[in-house]
Structures are given as structure tokens and as C-alpha cells.
Amino acid sequence: MAKSLMIVDDSATMRKIIMRTVRMSGLEFSRTEEAGNGNEALEKLNAEPVEIMLCDINMPEMSGSELVKKVRELPSCDDTKIVMVSTESSQEIIDDLLANGANGYITKPFTPEKFQEKLAPFMN
Amino acid sequence: MPEAQTELEFEIIELATESLETFCEDISGMFDIKMECTQQQFTNLDVNGLKKTFKKFAAVNTVKTEGALNGVFYLIFDKAGTFTLSGIVVMLPEKRIIEMAKKGSESEAENLSDSIREMGNLLVGSWDRIFRENLEGHGHFTQTNTFIGNPWGKPEESIQLDSSEELLFIPYEITIGSYQPFNCGVAFPKSIFDKKPETEDEQPAAEDTTDTVEEEKTEDTTEPDVVSEPAAPADTEAKEETAEAKEPAAPEDTKTKEETTETEEPAAPADAETKEETAETEEPAATADAEAKEETTETEEPAATANAETKEETPEANVSETIQKMAQSPADLPGENTLIPSNLTANELMQTQIVWGTAEDSVQQTLTNMQKADAGYILIGKDQIPEGIISKSDLNGAVSPYLKPIFAKWRRPLDDATLQIKIKWIMTRPVKTIKPDTTLNVIMDTMRQFGNRCLPVTDESGKAIGIVTVFDVFKALTNNPNFSTVGTTPQAPALA
Ligand SMILES: [Mg+2]
């Protein structure tokens, strides 16, 4: 069964780039959603949870780490795998995210191979 | 001012070059292009020196740094660099990128501001990674602002840089594929290299002020940035949709090219075809856009105007459009061509059979629907309100050319995957619509200006009641007794 995907990033350009790269990585999703900020993401998740979420860290209003915490409070998203996608490369920040409910991390810039490698474990 | 560089400065120069090289590699991998940089001779200079390199247009990324270096520094791209990079990111056609790299305006940059800023974000990310790995005591780089335009008039306001500040400047030449090389550079205010006081009381006065002032200012940076901000969301969105239309075709295109070298014969037509489709879906929007934009630059005040969509519809834009036409060909004034029946309106021209689809449909479903109904266009939306429109060429551009039976041998799973692309990614949005009483003249002008080959006709409630395609226009023209289709158009000018 193909999984559903949500891309959360404040930059519309980046959302498209991620979408394009995901597509080029050969991974197939049954449904893809986009959200431009944390609140939009939560709203959409409340309406219909997704199985994999790709999430930016540096976003105005609600940061990626705050969003992760809030998603983890939603019982319907217990099984949602959250993979952070960010230029942030500080190990402390990454560790903190993983400790707070994120399941993986991809640094920007990325390649289709990177997506394939990091998302494949969550595809089955 | 001492010209000699300190040991720390030399170390930073080396790291800067490594960081930029890393960024080039990152971008090359991400967008499947060849991007390279060459370091030029570094110098000590001030704002005037930067102005000489970057002239009247630059994209300046302000980077806040703490740890081994303290303060802010600047990563700057010239006009060609700004447009080439952001154009590649949103997959604009090559021709358009070349054109903008040469004479792109501030308002055109505004429309690309989201991608220019995101490029800056990626750039800072690459730099932060290299500095983190190699510079002892490195804390963090944060992109605090991206200024797009001419920052040199009041650098204190635009980029929070004092004109008297001495800078260490490292210029680079960057090449991307076959595009014209462009300039970029990093400017470090000399004060950034000052050692941080070990204890609070050592050099409190000087250090503290720089620190707090810069920090306050960087907080403010969202203000001046507003120049580019307001247009960004809606417009970029629209642009991207246009770029999207081409999206799936692009990787295939590259792939086709690669195959060309290996297989020769079949790849060539495919390549040409993909290109053609791409051009068809892309060009018109971009061109219409450019026309309106160039006008705006001439009449100045690009920052004040909203997004392209509104610009095109403002009376000013129409006036300048008219003036431009008058200059080009006085015979072509709108409304004065007696060959075109002026009494015909959309109501009489339109086809009332509309095929509807939803944004969630796949390319494959939509192709089937189109074939079933023998329609060239499908409107996407709910309750008769068109949210998007998709043409046969859009679909052809989206699916892999390898799906054609002739290429069966080379077909891969990824090619089939293109049939599953959702319509929402490739449809044209927003939809340019006309009213039932829109005249043939205006319809033709709208099509030409916006590059649309199909215009939905909507009633007062915004519901689509029909569509007018270029073929309906042709039909109206050829039925017109004043319009002669006899004879041939002269292909070469007569000698005087
Ligand atoms: Mg972001």
C-alpha cells in the first residue's frame, strides 16, 4: 500500500523542490499534501492524518520542533513518521528533535538518493 | 587601514572558498546541473567597492554569526547570479533565464523572491556545515535577511551596513552549465574578526554596542525586506504553478539528452518534443509577465506595485501596453482593425460543453476523460467554479515521452509513474476568465497578452458557462466576409 505524505515548509519554492525530489527518488505516495506553516499542517492532519511528514525547522510563527511536539499530541498521528528537512546541521538541535518525536533527518540541500535512503525504511 | 590579513582572516578565506564549493556541489546534485566557482583576489574595501562589483542590483543575504566570529556578514549575488540561480530553481525556460540574467528588473526579482531567499537559505546551510566541521569555536550561522534590489544608496537601512565599515571581500566567479558566468562574493566586516572579550569587563563598550546594535537591526530586517515581501506569496505561487506545468518534463528531458548520446536515433525526436511541450506550457505566461513588468520598470516605482496579476490588469499597465503597440505598429491599435467583427462576443463564440475534472485526478484519468469527450481542455474545480485549467499539451508535457510505443524498449517504472502525477501539480492556476459580453477583439488581445489558448467564460457568480479556444476565434475570423483567407503572406519584404 502506497503511503500518504505531507510536506511542511514556509517556502513555496522549497515545497516544490522537495516534491520534485521525492518524485525523482522513485518513491510513490498515494496522496501528497502541502502546508506552509505549522497551523495549516495541524489543521490538515486533524482532518486526515498522513503516514509520512517532511518538516522544515526554520519557519515563522511555529517552528518545526514545536510542530513535532504538537503532532505527537495528536492520537490520530501516533504512527506518523516525521522526517525533518532543514539546513540546520547542528547536532544538538538534531538530537533534541529526535528526542522529541522526530523519526529522521535530511539536511538541505538534498538529492533524490538522500530521500530514497532516508524514507525507504518508512515505506513498508 | 592595514592591508595585511591576519591569520584568522586567512583561515576564514580558505573556509569561505570551501563553503562556496560545497554549495556548488550541493546545488549541482540537487538540480542535476554543473555549478562551479573560482575564487578571485580578495581585497579590503568599503561599501563603494561592493557597489563597483555589484552595480545597481544585488541579492544580499545577511548572515548572523556567533561563536568564533561575531556579528553579521554578507553573501552577495549579482543580477545574473540572482536570476540564473532562482530561475533554475523554479525551472524557468533557459531562454527566459538568459534574458532575465541580462536585464531582469527589480519587480521580476520580486516575483522570484521566495526562491531567491530559499537559495540564500541553502547557501547559509552549506556554509554553516563547513564552518561547523572546520572552525574551532564556530557557533551558528543564521540567515537573517535577504535584500533584493539596489542596496548601495542607503546601505545602513537596506542591509544594516555602515558605509564607513571596512570589509574583507572575497569575490568568486560562478558558472552554471552553459549559462553566462556571474559574480558572487562574501563581505566580512573587519570587526567580525575581533576577538570576543574573555570576560565581560575587558572591552565592554566597543564590543557590546556592535553586538546589540547588530542584533537589534537584524531583528528589524523584515521591514526593509518588505520591498520584496508582499508580492511573494500569491505571485510566486502562480509562477510556480506555471513552472510546475513543466516540472515532470524536465527530468525526463535531461534523461532524454543522456540517452541521446548512447542510443542516437529515437532520442532526438523525443527530446525535441519534450522541449516543444515545455515551451508551449511555459513561455506564454512568462512573456506576458515580462511585457507588463518591463513597462513597470520604465515607469519606476516597481516596489509599490502588487503582483504581476494585478499589474497586468491595472489601467497603467494597459496604457503602457497601448503606447508600446502604437510605437511598434500604428495599424495594430486595439479596436481599430476593421477586419475583425467588433460585434461578436464570447457569448456567441463559446462552446458550452465543458469537461470538468478535479485537482486530485491523476494525469492518466484526465487523459482518459479528455479522449472520451474529445476535448482539448479540461476545467478543474468544484461547483462549476474553475480553479485551474489543463490542456492536452500540459498533459503531454507532464508524462514521460518514453511512454510512447516507439520507445517501449527504454521504458522504466519511473516513466509510468508520470501517469500518476496529480493534476493539481501541473494545472495552470489562477485561471484567466472572460465575461459573456467580452468582445472578440478583447478575447484575442487577452489570449495574446496572457498566452492562453483557452479562456473560460464565467457568469456573475463566477461559474463557468462555456469556453472560448483559439479555434473558436479562428472560426469566427474565417466566417467573417471582411477577412480574406485567399493568397499567401509575404515571407520576405519587397525591395524598395
Ligand atoms: Mg524555512
Give chain A's domains with CATH numbers.
3-122 (3.40.50.2300)
Q: Do B30 and A19 touch (CB under 8 A)?
A: no
d(CA B271, CA B276): 9
Query: What residue ranges of chain B are covered by domains with CATH 3.10.580.10?
Result: 339-478
Q: What is the mean pLDDT of residues B338-352?
A: 81
- Secondary structure (3-state) at B254: helix
Q: Please name the helix (run of DSSP H) or strand (run of DSSP E) that holds residue B59, with its range, or none.
A: strand B58-67
Specify the 3-state DSSP secondary structure of A10: coil
Residue scoring higher pLDDT (B136 or B286): B136
Residues B429 and B424: their CA atoms lie apart, in Å, by 9
User: How close is the Cα of A42 to the center of ligand 1, in Å?
Assistant: 17
What is the reported pLDDT for B194? 84
Q: How many CB pairs under 8 A join A and B?
A: 74
Task: Report which of A21, A67, A13 is spatially closest to residue A40, judged by C-alpha positions.
Answer: A67
Please give the full DSSP string across B200-214, using - where no structure is assigned. TTSSHHHHHHHHHHH
Q: Which three cell numbers stand for residue B93?
A: 525556460
Give the model's pLDDT for residue B197: 52
Fold that domain B2-203 belongs to in CATH: Chemotaxis protein chec (3.40.1550)
Range in B20-34, B78-92, B296-310 with the lowest mean pLDDT? B296-310
Tell me the C-alpha distance between B182 and B40, whole Å: 12
Q: Is the pLDDT of residue B207 over 60?
A: no
d(CA A46, CA A76): 8
**pLDDT-wise least confident of B10-14, B51-55, B366-370:** B366-370
Q: Which three cell numbers stand for residue B409?
A: 524498449
Mean of the pLDDT values across residues B203-230?
Answer: 39
Grid cell, residue B251, equals 527530468
What's residue B483's pLDDT?
54
* A12·B244 Cβ contact <8 A: no
Chain A environment of B29 (Cβ under 8 Å): 109, 111
Euclidean distance between CA atoms B410 and B455, whole angstroms: 38
3-state secondary structure of B465: strand
> Rounded to an integer, what distance in angstroms lies between the CA atom of residue B112 and that of residue A32?
24
Query: Looking at the predicted complex, does its ipTM rise above 0.85?
Result: yes
Residues of chain B with CATH 3.40.1550.10: 2-203
Which of A11, A13, A15, A23 is most worth mutating to test chain B (most B CB atoms within 10 A of its CB)?
A13
Contact (CB<8Å) B247/A16: yes
Pick the CATH number of B339-478 from 1.10.3720.10, 3.10.580.10, 2.60.260.20, 2.60.40.10: 3.10.580.10
Low-confidence ranges of chain A (pLDDT < 50): none
Q: Which residues of A touch B128 (CB under 8 A)?
A: 87-90
Answer yes or no: do B417 and A20 touch at CB < 8 A: no
Lowest-confidence pick of A48-52, B98-102, B485-489: B485-489
Question: Can you give the pLDDT at residue B482?
Answer: 55
Torsion angle in degrees (nearest 10) through CA of A17, A18, A24, A26: -170
State whether B128 and A16 contact (CB < 8 Å).
no
Whether B241 shows a pLDDT value over 70: the answer reads no
Q: Are strands B182-189 and B71-78 parallel, antiparallel or unpaired?
A: antiparallel
